[in-house]
Amino acid sequence: MILRPCTEKQLPEILDIFNDTILNSTALYDYKTRTMETMNAWYADKLKCNYPIVGAFDELGVMLGFATYGMFRVRPAYKYTVEHSVYVRPDKRGMGIGKVLLREIIKKAEEQNFHVLVGVIDTSNTVSIKLHENEGFVLNGVWKEVGYKFGKWLDAAFYQLILKTPENPLEE
């Protein structure tokens, strides 16, 4: 497996992973699949804010999964906190790809001097919960019935990992 930054070239593969997740799981609380137009806007926002999109690829260059993060909340005091996401192709799950991607996104957050990584995980996603707990994330609470998908109410678990960075935080 090779890790590298994703470019516009990978947007169709990212779109496929997102849309499979939307249609077949509660990992994304979306109802409608995304389009290339929405993916282009998503990608432009990541570039503008300098948020990484890390891809895992096989030896032929086929994307196995990706991880990224983005703004947690818009207020300036939250500037050292980001919310992350990790997605793996459905036919490649259970092979440790998510763990490698999560570790890489943690590394990227430290390099960019973020202080907290937040993960919001549907409580039925026990694999993701275990992955995050194994990497040191701590459960901070469960918001009951905050989502509704596939004919049922969904509970969202909030996990966080506190990083050692930044050394000198600023209030500006």
User: What's the mean per-residue pLDDT of the chain?
Assistant: 96
Identify whether the C-beta of residue 79 lies closer than 8 Å to the C-beta of residue 28: no
* Token representation of residue 42: 């998503």
The pLDDT tens digits for 27-48 are 999 999 999 999 999 999 999 9
CATH architecture type of domain 2-162 = 3-Layer(aba) Sandwich (3.40)
Q: Which residues of the chain have pLDDT under 50?
A: none
The pLDDT tens digits for 66-79 are 999 999 999 999 99
Instruction: Record the pTM.
Output: 0.94
